[in-house]
Amino acid sequence: MTWSALVLAGSRGATDPVARAAGVSHKAFAPLAGRPMLAHVLDALAAAPEVGRVAVSIEPEAPPIPAEGIERLAAEGSPARSALAAFDRLGPPLLIVTADHPLLSPAMIRDALAQVGEADVAAALSPRAAVEAAGSPAARTWLRFRDGDFSGCNIFACRTPEARRAIELWTRLEADRKRPWRMVRRLGLRPLAAYLAGRLALDGAVAALGVAAGCRAAAARLDQPEAAHDVDKPEDLAFVRRLLAARQAAGSPQAGSGADARDQVSVRPSTGNPR
C-alpha cells in the first residue's frame, strides 16, 4: 500500500515563540543545520518507501516549499480544518505529520504504519522511557494511563474513508477547547472517569476516541527516542540543533550542523499577524 502524506505547516504568525526566536515568518522555516525545519521533514518522507504523493498545508504568503514535486495546499486556519480539507483532496490512505518534527525518520514512519492493522485511523505515541532517553531538558505534558505515561508523536495514519470521522471529531474538539464541558460530553463520561481514576489503558483510551468518532482507532507505539520530540519552544529548537551537531561530530551520514552560521538560511523575517 502506498500512502499519500500531508505535512501540516500552518503558522500562528508573529506570536509563535519559535518563529520569533528564529526571526522567520513561519516556524516551519526556522533554520536547522543550514536548512529550513520543513526540509528535514520532507527528507524523511522522501526516504520512506511507503510514501508516494506529498503535500504541505501552509499559508499562501509563506516562503516557497524547500523541495521539488511537493503539492502546496492552503492552510485552513487551524490544524484540524487543514487536515480535513487535505483529506478530502488527497483521500486515504493518508499519513499526517507536522512541519515542527525535524527528527522524523523513515523508521518512525515504517513502524507507525506497520501498527495500523485493520483500524481506520491510528495515532503514534511513545512511552516515557523512550522519550526521556533522548535527553531533552524541556518539560513535557504526559498522557498518564494504567499501562504507563505516553507522549504524542504528531504522526497520524488515516487508512480508510471512515478515518474522516476522526478528523471531524478533531475539528469539533478544537472548536470546544475553551469549553471543556462540551469536550467531555463528546468523548463520554465513562472513559473520562476511568482516565482520572488511573484505570484506563492506552489502547482502551484510543478505542474510546474511535467510538466517539464513529470509526476504529488504534495506538501505534514508537520506541525511537526522538519520535515524540517536536519543536514547540525555543528550547526545543536549541535541543534539536545540539542533537544534529552531535550526530555530525559522530560522523552520521544524515547529520546536519549545529547552531552556527549555517543555521542562518534565507527566509523572510516575521511580520505576519497572529492567526
Rounded to 10 degrees, what is the CA torsion of 174, 180, 183, 189?
Answer: 160
Report whether 153 contacts 87 (CB < 8 A): no
Residue 258: pLDDT over 50:
no
- The confidence score (pLDDT) of residue 181 equals 64
- The confidence score (pLDDT) of residue 204 equals 92
Compute the distance between CA of residue 167 and CA of residue 107 in angstroms, rounded to an integer: 25
Residue 268: pLDDT over 70:
no
Report whether 2 contacts 52 (CB < 8 A): yes
237 phi, psi to nearest 5 deg: -60, -45
- The confidence score (pLDDT) of residue 137 equals 73
Report whether 36 contacts 265 (CB < 8 A): yes
pLDDT in tens, 6-61: 999 998 766 899 999 999 999 999 999 989 999 999 999 999 999 999 999 999 99
- The confidence score (pLDDT) of residue 206 equals 94
Report whether 42 contacts 58 (CB < 8 A): no
- The confidence score (pLDDT) of residue 248 equals 79
Compute the distance between CA of residue 238 and CA of residue 230 in angstroms, rounded to an integer: 12
Q: What is the DSSP string of 131-151?
A: HHHT---S----EEETTEEEE
Residue 211: pLDDT over 90:
yes
Helix (H) or strand (E) holding 35: strand 35-36
Residue 263: pLDDT over 70:
no
Residue 257: pLDDT over 80:
no
| Mean pLDDT score across all residues of the chain | 88
In sequence order, which residues have a C-beta less than 8 Å from that of residue 97 and are 6 or more positions away?
Answer: 5, 6, 7, 8, 41, 45, 104, 154, 155, 156
Name all domains of the chain by residue range, CATH numbers in brackets. 3-237 (3.90.550.10)
Report whether 212 contacts 185 (CB < 8 A): no
Helix (H) or strand (E) holding 127: strand 121-127
Specify the 3-state DSSP secondary structure of 42: helix
- The confidence score (pLDDT) of residue 273 equals 35
* Crossing angle between the packed helical segments 180-187 and 163-175, to the nearest 10 degrees: 160
| pLDDT confidence tier of residue 228, bands split at 50, 70 and 90 | very high
Rounded to 10 degrees, what is the CA torsion of 225, 127, 227, 96?
Answer: 170
Residue 131: pLDDT over 60:
yes
- The confidence score (pLDDT) of residue 202 equals 94
Residue 67: pLDDT over 80:
yes
Specify the 3-state DSSP secondary structure of 84: helix
Residue 259: pLDDT over 60:
no
Query: Do the strands 71-74 and 51-58 form a parallel or antiparallel pair, or are they unpaired?
Result: parallel
Give the least confident one: 5-9, 84-88, 108-112, 197-201: 197-201
Q: What is the pTM of this model?
A: 0.88
Place of cell 560522523: 251
Give the least confident one: 115-129, 165-179, 207-221: 165-179
Compute the distance between CA of residue 41 and CA of residue 23 in angstroms, rounded to an integer: 20
| pLDDT confidence tier of residue 269, bands split at 50, 70 and 90 | very low
Report whether 218 contacts 206 (CB < 8 A): yes
Give the least confident one: 70-74, 231-235, 244-248: 244-248
- The confidence score (pLDDT) of residue 260 equals 36
7: which strand partners? 56, 97
Compute the distance between CA of residue 240 and CA of residue 225 in angstroms, rounded to an integer: 12
Mean pLDDT of the 114-125 span: 98
Dihedral sign of CA atoms 55, 58, 64, 67 in order? negative
